[in-house]
């Protein structure tokens, strides 16, 4: 569905706002629907990306110079920490071009201390798997960064699989980036926001709460900062085992 179709459906079938002058402008409802798509992605990780090299930058930094890495990261020798696009929610997989297997992770600081004592600031000598300068693990915290343990000793390219939020807001003439089967669910968060509008003709806290609950039932609760951080680690638990040479 396009943004125009979503706005019309929201106005006619949910908000019952069909008489001119409308209680909500098209621009308002479109904004609410875009907020809903971001919320759905944060809660349910609906967009998994392994092919988009960089994001589109921001409105103030649009263009090549403003882009941040998404799924392709240029590695500099002896540099461990890299900033990623703010669109990234979680790194699900990381593999260097020079390696035949993915790195273990994301791991936590505690696990980094356990697996590789004194890892902070280390750069490529020999990893736990005898990799001769290749990292063995990676961290995905703080958010929107990746830290290699240990830092690669040579230039390389990292290929990432990430979950992320949409790259750009959709317009009246374009469609949400998430799959169409989820478009109907966006109505609930948009309606929640619409009924939160502080106007005597639109404010309805009971309906706002009902639509918020409907949205949460479909896409899950909004994770707090701690839960979001732990999800990065726990969902990749199977990749956290130290590797040994020849395994």
Per-residue pLDDT at 238: 45
The pLDDT assigned to 112 comes to 86
* Cα gap 94→116, rounded to integer Å: 18
Q: How much is the pTM?
A: 0.84
Q: What is the pLDDT at residue 57?
A: 80
Q: What are the C-alpha distances in Å from 107 to residues 30, 90, 126, 158, 184? A: 38, 12, 19, 17, 36
Please state, in angstroms and rounded to a whole number, the distance separating the CA atoms of residues 105 and 116.
13
Closest by Cα among 76, 57, 74, 73 to 65 = 57
Asked if 160 and 103 touch (Cβ cutoff 8 Å), the reply is no
pLDDT at position 244, please?
A: 39
| pLDDT at site 86 | 93
pLDDT of residue 100: 92
Q: What is the mean pLDDT of each run of 10 residues along the chain (247 residues)?
A: 97 96 97 98 97 83 75 94 94 95 92 81 49 81 88 94 96 98 97 96 97 97 66 49 40
| pLDDT one-digit tens code per residue, 54-78 | 998 865 655 566 799 999 999 999 9
The pLDDT assigned to 58 comes to 67
> Whole-number mean pLDDT of the chain?
86
What span, in angstroms and rounded, lies between the C-alpha atoms of 210 and 47? 26
């Amino acid at each position: 569905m396009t943004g125009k179709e979503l706005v019309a459906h929201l106005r006619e079938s949910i908000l019952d706002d069909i008489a001119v002058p409308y209680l909500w402008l098209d621009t308002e409802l479109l904004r609410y629907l875009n907020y809903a798509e971001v919320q759905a992605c944060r809660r349910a990780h609906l967009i998994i990306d392994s092919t988009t090299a960089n994001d589109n930058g921001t409105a103030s930094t649009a263009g090549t110079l403003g882009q941040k890495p998404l799924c392709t990261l240029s590695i500099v020798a002896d540099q461990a920490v890299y900033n990623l696009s703010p669109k990234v929610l979680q790194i699900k997989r990381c593999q260097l071009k020079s390696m035949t297997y993915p790195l273990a992770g994301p791991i936590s600081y505690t696990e980094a201390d356990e697996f590789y004592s004194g890892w902070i600031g280390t750069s490529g000598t020999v990893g736990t798997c005898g990799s001769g300068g290749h990292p063995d693990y990676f961290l995905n915290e703080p958010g929107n960064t990746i830290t290699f343990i240990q830092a690669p000793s040579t230039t390389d390219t990292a290929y990432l699989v990430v979950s992320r939020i949409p790259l750009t807001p959709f317009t009246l003439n374009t469609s949400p980036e998430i799959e169409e089967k989820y478009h109907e669910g966006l109505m609930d968060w948009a309606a929640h926001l619409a009924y939160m509008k502080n106007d005597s003709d639109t404010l309805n806290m009971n309906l706002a709460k009902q639509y918020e609950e409907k949205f949460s039932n479909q896409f899950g609760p909004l994770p707090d900062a701690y839960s979001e951080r732990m999800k990065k680690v726990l969902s990749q638990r199977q990749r956290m085992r130290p590797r040994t040479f020849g395994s």
